Amino acid sequence: MTGSPSTVRALRGHVLQFSGDPFTEAPEAAITDWSDGLVVIVDGIIHSVGQAEDMISALPEGAVIEDYRGKFILPGFIDCHAHYPQSEVISSYGTQLIEWLNKYTFPAESKFHDKDYALNAAEVYLNESFRNGITSASVYCTVHPESAEALFERASAYDMRIVAGKVLMDRHAPDTLRDTAQKGYDDSKKLIETWHGKGRALYSITPRFAPTSTPEQLEAAGVLWKEHPGTLVQTHTSENLKEIAWVKELYPEHPDYVGVYEHYGLLGKGSVLGHGIHLNDRERAIISETGTAVAHCPTSNTFIGSGLFDVEEAHFGKLPFRVGLATDVGGGSSFSMLSTMRTAYEIAQLRGYSLHPAQAYYLATVGSAKTLYLEDKIGNILPGLEADITIVDPQSTPLIQHRMSYANDLTEALFIQMILGDDRAIEATYVGGKKVYQKPS
């Protein structure tokens, strides 16, 4: 084992690793676990995983062992679609998508021209994410480049694997939130040059959604992506029926909503479409064929009343595609990925499909990593991956303690956590092998 003792850290507890895909094999068989396991971390990278008693003797003298026996050691949760400037309007009452944007979101986002304001908001967002076991995220900033700079600066202080971008929006928005096709291109290009690939930061070209970008802006976004291979794209699609009708009015020459992005070269590996609730067969086909991914935002989809995403069709239909799990804060109602999994389960139930807990945790970890094409770096507890890890206390509340006393196996224990758990279940969060959150004692 290379590395000085000061750079070697080991986490001991009930370690869970995805050794397969619970959507393509028996869900229980996709998880390998060690009830007394050890995760050895060297210089922020997972070095080895296995049974603690077989590995402890190989640790160098002076290596730090953190004891989480009785707790779950999981891959860090990955939020593949979130709006950090909207944290201040989370839990806003009484409207659906378009009205919600105009009434709550746009006024909040208009403040982010102020860099200091954005820095404070970014710190709140990151702290809440860590407190909920989220170790990586794909994040929408605002139209102001200062908002993206602020998030990248704050995330870099934690050496966080962050994907983010300045929103592109040149119509159907307040004056305080509009750029132009040229300014959006120029601002984004400068941010790419400054931040993409710096540390663990990656840039995502971010047209908000088709209605708030002119054809000229979407064309510029497509050009920008071609000019900067390795960057990502994030936008929204097919979230709300009124939104879909609006897109048809604005872009009548295209076959459907996803067809707009297809035309402007914004689909492909590394493109993540938020929501994707009301997709037609042609849209599913082009998403699958191009390697585009969809971010499933269950708490947002129910809170704003947008609809019920079909997770079964996405995985088992004729043309399956990559799906990850997302909070969509602040359209979503919680930073908790456990709560997000619970709502994903409930939505699937309403559609006649029982989402297995192994599948839910997979969506929140490996699945989200796959939407970003980062599964070779994050999303699992495997040697060679970055050491982003979440520790879950399976006895975090009196009710959970009571219910866990009747749990028969690992599957049931994990299910109890995602149905009854919340931020109180997160014992600790590690980003790049460094502890960024510890639950108060």
In this structure, what CATH number is given to the domain that contains residue 408? 2.30.40.10
Sign of the torsion angle spanned by Cα atoms 391, 396, 401, 403: negative
Q: Of 341, 371, 401, which residue sits at a domain end? A: 371
**Does residue 89 sit in the same domain as residue 223?**
yes
Q: How many CB atoms lie within 10 A of CB 287?
A: 26
**Does residue 244 sit in the same domain as residue 221?**
yes
**Does residue 299 sit in the same domain as residue 340?**
yes
**Does residue 114 sit in the same domain as residue 154?**
yes
Sign of the torsion angle spanned by Cα atoms 416, 417, 420, 424: positive
**Does residue 35 sit in the same domain as residue 129?**
no
**Does residue 82 sit in the same domain as residue 212?**
yes
Angle at 252 between CA 250 and CA 253, to 5 degrees: 125
Q: What gap in Å lies between CA 346 and CA 190, rounded to an integer?
A: 42
**Contact call for residues 210 and 170 (beta carbons, < 8 A):** no
Q: What gap in Å lies between CA 133 and CA 391, rounded to an integer?
A: 8
DSSP state for residue 274 in the 8-state scheme: E
Each residue's pLDDT tens digit in the chain (441 positions)?
A: 655 545 899 999 999 999 999 999 999 999 999 999 999 999 999 999 999 999 999 999 999 999 999 999 999 999 999 999 999 999 988 788 888 888 999 999 999 999 999 999 999 999 999 999 999 999 999 999 999 999 999 999 999 999 999 999 999 999 999 999 999 999 999 999 999 999 999 999 999 999 999 999 999 999 999 999 999 999 999 999 999 999 999 999 999 999 999 999 999 999 999 999 999 999 999 999 999 999 999 999 999 999 999 999 999 999 999 999 999 998 899 999 999 999 999 999 999 999 999 999 999 999 999 999 999 999 999 999 999 999 999 999 999 999 999 999 999 999 999 999 999 999 999 999 999 999 998
- How far the first Cα of the chain sits from its last, in Å, is 34
**Does residue 312 sit in the same domain as residue 227?**
yes
Residue 372 half-sphere exposure toward CB, CA atoms < 13 A:
33
In this structure, what CATH number is given to the domain that contains residue 107? 3.20.20.140
Q: In this structure, what token pair is assigned to residue 313? A: 């069709």
**Does residue 249 sit in the same domain as residue 397?**
no
DSSP, collapsed to helix, strand or coil, labels residue 21 as coil
**Does residue 89 sit in the same domain as residue 131?**
yes
**Does residue 282 sit in the same domain as residue 416?**
no
Q: What does the pLDDT read at residue 350?
A: 98
Q: Of 347, 371, 395, which residue sits at a domain end? A: 371
* C-alpha R_g of the chain: 21
- The verdict on pTM exceeding 0.85 is yes
Q: What gap in Å lies between CA 165 and CA 272, rounded to an integer?
A: 13
**Does residue 251 sit in the same domain as residue 347?**
yes
Helix %, strand %, coil % of the chain (to 5)? 45, 25, 35
Q: How many domains are there within the chain?
A: 2
Q: Of 316, 350, 371, which residue sits at a domain end? A: 371
E strands, 265-399, are 271-275, 293-296, 322-325, 389-392
Identify which of 61, 19, 15 has the alpha carbon closest to the alpha carbon of residue 38. Answer: 15
The alpha carbon of 383 is separated from its chain's Cα centroid by a whole number of angstroms, namely 22
Phi, psi at 117, each rounded to 5°: -60, -45
Q: What does the pLDDT read at residue 334?
A: 96
Q: In what order do the strands lie in the sheet with 8-18?
A: 45-51, 31-42, 8-18, 64-75, 389-392, 426-431, 434-438
Mutual angle of helices 145-157 and 115-131, in 10-degree steps: 40
Longest dimension (CA), the chain: 68
How buried is 440 (Cβ within 10 angstroms: 0-12 exposed, 13-18 middle, 19+ buried)? exposed
**Does residue 259 sit in the same domain as residue 327?**
yes
Give the structural domain span for 277. 78-371
